Structure 1
Amino acid sequence: MIESYRKAAVESAMSTNSARNSFPHWSESISKITNDRLSGEIIFNLGDHLREIFGTSSQGNTRVGENTNSSVSAGGAAWESLVCWYLNLCLIGSNVVVIKSKKDLLPRFVTDAIAVKYNNFKSNTEADLIYIAFPNVLDWPEKNERELFSQYFDRVLSTAFAMKDISIGIIQTKTNWNDNAQIPMLWDMVYSAKGFGRNVSVGSKGRSIESFASFTYSFVTVPSQKDVDKNYKVTSTAVNRVRNISGGNYWGLPTKNGVADSLNEFIGRNLSDYVQGSDLIGWLDQQVALLDGDYSYFGLHSKYKLPKS
């Protein structure tokens, strides 16, 4: 059931026009980076190259170095899809799925729990992606084919007892770091404080983030600025704004100490308990052979052509 959910999440993320138009460029870049070879370590290390891969996007998507409002806006959805694709690729075979915030995929008990209310006004959080880490042991009932995934998981997991065994996390994705760093900083403050006084509260319909085993808030950026060494230092304002958010701040480049982690560090920081043996690369080595079969929807087969939906 979880792998069916992952398939639906990835196919949904890659079904947007921006993702489908970009994937041929991304796959060509991946092919060059990997020399058409795949292993657990090679897949893991793609996290260090996501900015490079994303920068090959065409069809109006943001290119690294461009920073116009139109290019940033057009590329945001593509970056979100690429991050969703990569994290799920690293999580295949685990009990964790990363999904876009869509009604047909996201359980209602999650949207209720992360809702932020200002008095009686319900505000939408910056939840571009959400991960759900399911219990390691659970007897899944048969799914009614007419049920949406969101309805199914609501029915199975929405009890207080079940929710205590689930971990969730919000992942905000942005192409431009400078213009957006204050957004995750402020949202993480709200969630960490569980609201502010009587006027701002987290959760609705009797559910909150405290209903879960754990909750994190993370930030993932390209970033789109061309000279990252010049723009992002330990002392940079944008860096310090996201330094202490609960789930960490990441980019599509190798880890730079004191500035940002490569996205390949996300799972080790937040989800290591859900990877068998806590050895992500070793686990991925065992899954690589399935990329031509059960996991063909990732498009890493037949010379990296995205399969038709």
Structure 2
Amino acid sequence: MRVSFYTAAESGPESASTSTMPSTLKTWLRLLAALVLLPLAWGGAALQAATPAADTENSEELAKRYEDARVAFEKGDFKKAQYLSESLLKDSLDKGKVSPQLFQLMGHTRYRQGDLGRAALWYMRAALFPPPSPETVQNLTHIRGKTGNLAFSANHVGDQYSSLLTRPQWMRIVVISLWAIVFSTVLCFVFRSAAARTLFLLLILLGLVGGSLGIIGWRLRPTFNQVKDLAIVTSPNAKSYTAASTTAGRVIDLPPGSQVRKLEERGAWTYVETWSGDPSSKDSGQMIRGWVQNDALSTFWPFDAKYLD
């Protein structure tokens, strides 16, 4: 990034004395702006360098195949749309790409075929990418209303806020804010005028606010470690039992789309925990544990951790 520096006019002693301070202040302000924007410029350059022509061609091919799957869905050929979507997902993952639009389309195809558990699974996966589509959130609410599936208690305000950006984007805000704070603090000691110090103190305040908001968003965004043990019930008649046997006592019914956390695996069974109650409140339910058959569960995020972290 090129930064222009301007010096005071040298037309005479009076001109130099009256214009040196404003000119120097402008110079430092331009340098501050350059340093604050440096992480953004570096990120853009790195992204451009990592996107060669071959990668662009791959993206165009994947986009065309997605359009084919979408057209099949629009024509009501849900089996074909499902096949095309699953094939596209496999090839996309091989190329290191994932798409929330594809996840959403896969949710649509499953829902239209009456597979509410897998429809909820794909919608939940799509909702991880910022910002989540209002249609995806609406469809999840609709499925929960139809099946009564179970979900862990959540901080809805925090989830909505953190879903605006990815974790790397939130961290970039933090880095930019720190640059602004550090450099503005240095300039406060360089310039003695009240106006200049007021300006830099304002920048420090804005940096503190921006950094705090970035840290909050970064901390609230789900990471791979938080979802690696999460599974979704995809069988229509799943139940949890007190032991790893269908002859054991029943603990609770698990409607399609229910969220469970894996605690232990034993052969064809998995010991899980789930939240029974209103997911919007930690005071109106309890955590329940039991054994569930593996065939009734689908791993929530079987893909590479890099797509989340």
Per the TM superposition, whether the score is higher than 0.5 is no
Q: Which has the higher helix share?
A: 2
> Please, what TM-score do these two structures have when normalized by structure 1?
0.25
Which one scores higher on RCO, CA 8 angstroms, separation ≥ 6?
1
